[in-house]
Amino acid sequence: MRGEQGAAGARVLQFTNCRILRGGKLLREDLWVRGGRILDPEKLFFEERRVADERRDCGGRILAPGFIDVQINGGFGVDFSQATEDVGSGVALVARRILSHGVTSFCPTLVTSPPEVYHKVVPQIPVKSGGPHGAGVLGLHLEGPFISREKRGAHPEAHLRSFEADAFQDLLATYGPLDNVRIVTLAPELGRSHEVIRALTARGICVSLVADLRAAEDAVWSGATFITHLFNAMLPFHHRDPGIVGLLTSDRLPAGRCIFYGMIADGTHTNPAALRIAHRAHPQGLVLVTDAIPALGLGNGRHTLGQQEVEVDGLTAYVAGERPDPLGPRSQPACQVAHDPPRACPLCSQGTKTLSGSIAPMDVCVRHFLQATGCSMESALEAASLHPAQLLGLEKSKGTLDFGADADFVVLDDSLHVQATYISGELVWQADAARQ
């Protein structure tokens, strides 16, 4: 159904009265779609001598490529890392609900889990095209268990592993077959990581780094291309030891290779100034991710994440600690850490100060990123669409509105609120006010 320039007989849709994101700019242009792909209207005019079969007026709104979320652990009560009998419907539920956030493709993410979980869950989440049923699954993102003890963040220590013994075979034994896998996050300082990185890259799997190492540059030479949520779960930047953050401006990388880095722009995980520093240092590599947890879309309270429990308060989620003493205030001092947000601190009353995923939807992240960095709208939109597509090597068909690309796009108003979502040129979600 998706042939070159679309099947000649298929309907031609023309979206008019809009601004489209193309070539890094918002242009006053019409968007033409046929056969689920973006069409070149000039060829249609001169070679086929046809006009559009249907025109849709977009009311002066912005048309941007659909957002791509490469790190999302679940949502709406669904936890991708839970080994249930019917993982498929959980994934389908999330896929459908994130359409309202403007996400048209995503990588369901599994946090550190015991091998039994991987063996049960991974085969149940195949790569799948998006449509009215939900956003497309581009492949799985396996975050852990091959990460370091010191910087494990919210990942349970008990299930961390290494591949000292048998390198790639260890990895296969843990995960099972890798057909549905798209990204693997690991720590390059683990022994024999370079063999593993090379083996994964050879299979077209994107390797992402977490934890700190001067040798992160060597990992990039072995094929790694991504840094999972920059700043979080890593040693802070030090001027004599920039750590993995220094990778952003490293001059020791292979020529022409762009290093990408995920940023959780939810207003909690990263201070706006830090967001700005990273963005200015290396704007081309910034990839917005939600790192969303099952509590996304649900209210405050306790929820699960893999083998952990997390506590949600507003837009912040922490690893859950002990239940508070109901008989009175605890004797512990107020927390020493100056942190955002300034409301009632879960650290003082209960729980831990370890952030555990995020519950900000992708469109909230895009808006917050725009506001915090003061960057252009085009930059913010590309960070959520073009850059993740480039990371996965899909930029010819996803994350772009160039001719021939899949017609996955979002309709946004000037404050970047999602008004409608399209997959393959078909309307798959619409804001209530827009429904007539």
- Which chain residues interact with other proteins by CB under 8 A? 30, 41-42, 44-46, 48-51
Q: Which is nearer to other proteins, 31 or 392 (CB)?
A: 31
The span from the CA of 428 to the CA of 133, in Å, is 8
Find the shortest distance in angstroms from Cβ 42 to other proteins.
5
Q: Which is nearer to other proteins, 47 or 164 (CB)?
A: 47
Residue 33 bridge partners (DSSP): 13, 38
Active site residue 340: no
Name which of 222, 244, 224, 248 is nearest 234 in CA terms.
244
3-state secondary structure the chain: CCCCCCCCCCCEEEEEEEEEEECCEEECCCEEEECCEECCHHHHHHHHCCCCCEEEEEEEEEEEECEEEEEECEECCEECCCCCCCHHHHHHHHHHHHHHHCEEEEEEEECCCCHHHHHHHHHHCCCECCECCECEECCEEEECCCCCCCCCCCCCHHHCCCCCCCCHHHHHHHHCCCCCEEEEEECCCCCCHHHHHHHHHHCCCEEEECCCCCCHHHHHHHCCCEECCCCCCCCCCECCECHHHHHHHCCCCCCCCCCEEEECCCCCCCCHHHHHHHHHHCHHHEEECCCECCCCCCCCEEEEECCEEEEEECCEEEECCCCCCCCCCCCCCCCCCCCCCCCCCHHHHCCCCCECCECCCHHHHHHHHHHHHCCCHHHHHHHHCHHHHHHCCCCCCCCCCCCCCECCEEEECCCCCEEEEEECCEEEEECHHHCC
Q: Which is nearer to other proteins, 14 or 109 (CB)?
A: 14
Q: How many residues does the chain have?
A: 436
Q: Which is nearer to other proteins, 49 or 323 (CB)?
A: 49
Catalytic residue among 291, 363, 406, 408: 291
Find the shortest distance in angstroms from Cβ 430 to other proteins.
27
Q: Which is nearer to other proteins, 45 or 344 (CB)?
A: 45
Find the shortest distance in angstroms from Cβ 12 to other proteins.
12
Buried b (16+ CB within 10 A) or exposed e, 37-47: bbbebeebeee
Residue 236: asked if its preceding bond is cis (omega within 30°), the reply is no
Find the shortest distance in angstroms from Cβ 25 to other proteins.
15
Find the shortest distance in angstroms from Cβ 46 to other proteins.
6
Find the shortest distance in angstroms from Cβ 145 to other proteins.
52
The span from the CA of 54 to the CA of 193, in Å, is 54
Q: Which is nearer to other proteins, 23 or 374 (CB)?
A: 23
Q: Which is nearer to other proteins, 14 or 232 (CB)?
A: 14
Query: What's the burial of 333, exposed, middle or buried (CB within 10 Å: 0-12/13-18/19+)?
Result: exposed
Residue 205 dihedral angles phi and psi, to the nearest 5°: -95, 130
Find the shortest distance in angstroms from Cβ 8 to other proteins.
15
Find the shortest distance in angstroms from Cβ 55 to other proteins.
10
Q: Which residue has the tokens 């039994």?
A: 116
Find the shortest distance in angstroms from Cβ 36 to other proteins.
22
Q: Which is nearer to other proteins, 33 or 210 (CB)?
A: 33
The set of catalytic residues is 291
